[in-house]
Amino acid sequence: MTTENMEKSINPIENISNVSFGKKEYNGSSKITIDFEAQLEKEIMKSLPTEALITSAKFEGTNIALYTRNPEFSLTELSLHLSALSKSLKKRFIIRTDPSIRLSEDDTRAEITKILPKEITVSVIFCDDATGEVVLEVNKPEAITSDIFLKISKNTGWITHTRRSPHIPSNSIKNIHSTLKSSSKERQIFYQRLGKRIFRPSLLPNNLLQHDDHQNTENNHQHELVMPDSAENVRSYNNSVPFNYRYNNLREVILYCLGGVKQVGRSCFVVVTPESKIMLDCGINPGENQSYNAYPRIDWFNFNLEELDAVVISHAHIDHQGFLPTLYKFGYNGPVYCTEPTLPLMALLQMDSIKLSKSNGAYLPYEIRDVNESIKHCIPIPYGKPTDISPDITITLNNAGHIMGSATVHINIAGTHNILYTGDYKYAKTQLLDSAISNYPRVETVITESTYGSSGDIMPDQYSVYGTFTESINQTLKQGGKVLIPVPAVGRAQEIMLVLDKEMREGRLIESPIFIEGMISEASAIHMSYAHYLGYDVRKSVFQGINPFQSSYFTAINGLSKRDEVFNDDSPSIIMATSGMLEGGPSVEYFKDISPKPQNKIIFVSYQINGTLGRRVLDGTISEASMVDKNGKMKVIPVRCSKQKIDGFSGHSDFNQILSFISRVKPKRVLVNHGEKSKSENIASSIYSKLKIRSSVPDNRDIIKLR
């Protein structure tokens, strides 16, 4: 069947005038989508080989799911046939097993244990009833061959995915499994209703969306949607100029800035097209207490959360996702897309925020059940896989080199406009990660971060950074002091662990105990589970059986009594604790102990947001801090220890790296966000003067027409 035939037979454009603009319900999909799906299923079923034993073809999440009673054939020979079909339909397929062939969970476990070779040990087997997938956590995922994968699906009726067993079991992953388990029915319904929504027929016929030219400025004032009466009319209008004027206006791409411009914190944009509304990041500003300044301005953007097609999260840091559970609390019930490791890392940080707010009495706009809602609605996608998330938007996540699982988001809007939203990125290799991906065939608009956008923000090379770091620690250890390194639990912590271990092992750093607070260990366990997301060098050593987070120099601190032991011991040591900006968490407890003694030192290795205690200590604007002690009494803590900021560890691109990234991507336009005002303005004018690319710094609550 040709594409043209397929379009004719399944395109329900005749009914398109029944759809009202901007009204896209998650609940109770319209009749039009059901007809569309039923017709499509009929066409697909007809074209598939009978040996595949496909029992149904359904819109499900971002794919068309084919349910099979013959997984062995469907996962191998059928896939060739599907790649051609996928091209002609412009839709992606996923193979699921028909529930009737799936063994019970107990029998599946027993069968899998029988099939796996002896050298493979399994720590977790998780069967997801909503998808028919079984996740195996094993010591050597690379030892599971495609034959083993096929045998498992043939004998059990479950399709296998693997992860690496971490050195300590991860509680975050365990919690995610139990949330997924208890919501499998609910999620099954969600995936189906999401599929219907994503594959709803376009309001605008594709041939018009891709028809690029014929701009006419005189008629640009027309904004109303005028629908053709029938498919015939669409065809006859296709080359007529007046009709194109109308549709030109409808191909607009508008960007709403809800947070994170001219500031670091609360990153949030909404991209609006004629068909869709997509939110990019949904962060909070950790340095702010007033909700007006702390959260994205969804109060200002006059839209209903139900109208949002998707939320895409670039990475797990709280300034990019800390407001996400609140969206669910306020009624959003659509999908959230992010990479696989971002989900557990994000959940870990959200749960930690809840714990912190309970212990220090600070207001947090969400609770555990809202975190669980975001877990249930999360659709993890791997790097490099184009994924349709609405009728006119396909996103691709790629390595951003910032923290594990961090992604730049490439947004293709009906083939007419491409946005690259960088999130936070590092355009250079680090100990932990490879450099951000920068080869894109076509990008019209880049939205870039500018944390280090000032011309003076040039990072020294890696080896001189390690040298300065080691020397600084040695100096304090030699004078009998303790070194506190406040670190964000996710990202910098693991990078610093690798560096400390390397420097100590190779004899440059004086041997001393390195204490690691609990949450960092948990984040490191997640790093091991998804080791295939790490940089080439770490990946290689993990594959050789070396766990970089399990060095004998490290001592994990779990619980208050262990922490007291560190306080009471006067011998020199290194302490790594969260949070990275001394805003709550154990680093603040260590700060109380370390700050008053001049022989001690605090070394900052990550960006300190304005207004945080970390920033004030670093800038020397405070000589003492009032804090609540263990007994709940206010106590004045003098700041007498020395302090140092070492920049080269940052997971952000420096001034030169931002410029070379932009010159590699070659967009037509750059918008600058995620930076202090002067830094954003500086990089914007440098991009214009050096690269001759139109560049600007919007404001929060600006609306920008990208197309």
Q: Which residues bind Zn ion (CB under 5 A)?
A: 317, 424
Q: Give least dist CB 516 to Zn ion, A.
A: 21
Tokens representing 271 are 């991209």
Q: What is the CA radius of gyration of the chain?
A: 27
Closest CA to 470 of 515, 508, 439: 508
Beta-carbon neighbour count of residue 302 at 10 Å? 6
Task: Tell whether omega for the bond before 579 is within 30 degrees of 0, i.e. cis.
Answer: yes
Is the backbone of residue 265 left (phi > 0), alpha (psi -120 to 50) or beta? left
Residue carrying the six token digits 């490290």: 554
Q: Give least dist CB 424 to Zn ion, A.
A: 4
Of 523 and 641, CB closest to Zn ion: 523
| Residue ranges with strand state E in 444-503 | 445-449, 482-486
| Residue ranges with strand state E in 92-146 | 93-97, 122-128, 133-138
Of 196 and 317, CB closest to Zn ion: 317
Q: Give least dist CB 313 to Zn ion, A.
A: 11
- Of the chain, the end-to-end C-alpha distance in Å amounts to 35
3-state secondary structure (DSSP) of residue 436: coil
Of 417 and 652, CB closest to Zn ion: 652
Of 151 and 492, CB closest to Zn ion: 492
Closest CA to 84 of 95, 76, 92: 92
Segments in 506-585 forming alpha helices (H): 518-529, 536-543, 560-568
Cβ atoms of residues 162 and 135 within 8 Å? yes
Q: Give least dist CB 285 to Zn ion, A.
A: 13
Q: Give least dist CB 572 to Zn ion, A.
A: 32
Of 488 and 518, CB closest to Zn ion: 488
Q: Give least dist CB 624 to Zn ion, A.
A: 30
Q: Give least dist CB 511 to Zn ion, A.
A: 32
Kindly report the backbone phi and psi dihedral angles of residue 668, in degrees, each rounded to the nearest multiple of 5, phi listed first: -85, -25
In this structure, the strands spanning 703-705 and 254-259 are antiparallel
Of 187 and 317, CB closest to Zn ion: 317
Cβ atoms of residues 656 and 687 within 8 Å? no
Q: In whole angstroms, what is the distance from residue 549 CA to residue 525 CA?
A: 8
Residue carrying the six token digits 């909404």: 270
Of 308 and 316, CB closest to Zn ion: 316
Q: Give least dist CB 324 to Zn ion, A.
A: 14
Beta-carbon neighbour count of residue 544 at 10 Å? 7
Q: Give least dist CB 320 to Zn ion, A.
A: 6
Cβ atoms of residues 100 and 154 within 8 Å? no
Of 319 and 373, CB closest to Zn ion: 319
Q: Give least dist CB 315 to Zn ion, A.
A: 6
Quote the crossing angle between the two packed helices 518-529 and 492-505, to the nearest 10°: 90
Tokens representing 307 are 């109208």
Of 412 and 653, CB closest to Zn ion: 653
Q: Residues 6 or more apart from 385 whose CB is under 8 A from it?
A: 396, 397
Tokens representing 246 are 């109308």
Of 424 and 495, CB closest to Zn ion: 424
Q: Give least dist CB 283 to Zn ion, A.
A: 9
With 0-12 CB in 10 A as exposed, 13-18 as middle and 19+ as buried, what is 152?
A: buried
Cβ atoms of residues 412 and 94 within 8 Å? no
Residue carrying the six token digits 């080269």: 648
Q: Give least dist CB 103 to Zn ion, A.
A: 42
Of 653 and 682, CB closest to Zn ion: 653
Tokens representing 35 are 């007809």
Q: Give least dist CB 396 to Zn ion, A.
A: 20
Kindly report the backbone phi and psi dihedral angles of residue 131, in degrees, each rounded to the nearest multiple of 5, phi listed first: -125, -15
Q: Give least dist CB 355 to Zn ion, A.
A: 21
Q: In what order do the strands lie in the sheet with 642-645?
A: 554-557, 514-517, 573-577, 482-486, 601-604, 642-645
Of 345 and 378, CB closest to Zn ion: 345
Q: In whole angstroms, what is the distance from residue 13 CA to residue 17 CA?
A: 8
Closest CA to 321 of 252, 424, 232, 391: 424
Of 37 and 319, CB closest to Zn ion: 319
Q: In whole angstroms, what is the distance from residue 528 CA to residue 168 CA?
A: 9
Tokens representing 518 are 């609990």
Tokens representing 247 are 């549709």
Of 29 and 450, CB closest to Zn ion: 450
Q: Give least dist CB 679 to Zn ion, A.
A: 15
Of 158 and 452, CB closest to Zn ion: 452
Q: Give least dist CB 397 to Zn ion, A.
A: 15
Give residue number: closest CB to Zn ion.
317
Of 317 and 563, CB closest to Zn ion: 317
Provide the CB-side half-sphere exposure for 82 (13 A, CA).
20
Of 193 and 317, CB closest to Zn ion: 317
Q: In whole angstroms, what is the distance from residue 32 CA to residue 660 CA?
A: 48
Segments in 17-145 forming alpha helices (H): 31-47, 71-75, 77-89, 105-115
Q: Give least dist CB 14 to Zn ion, A.
A: 48
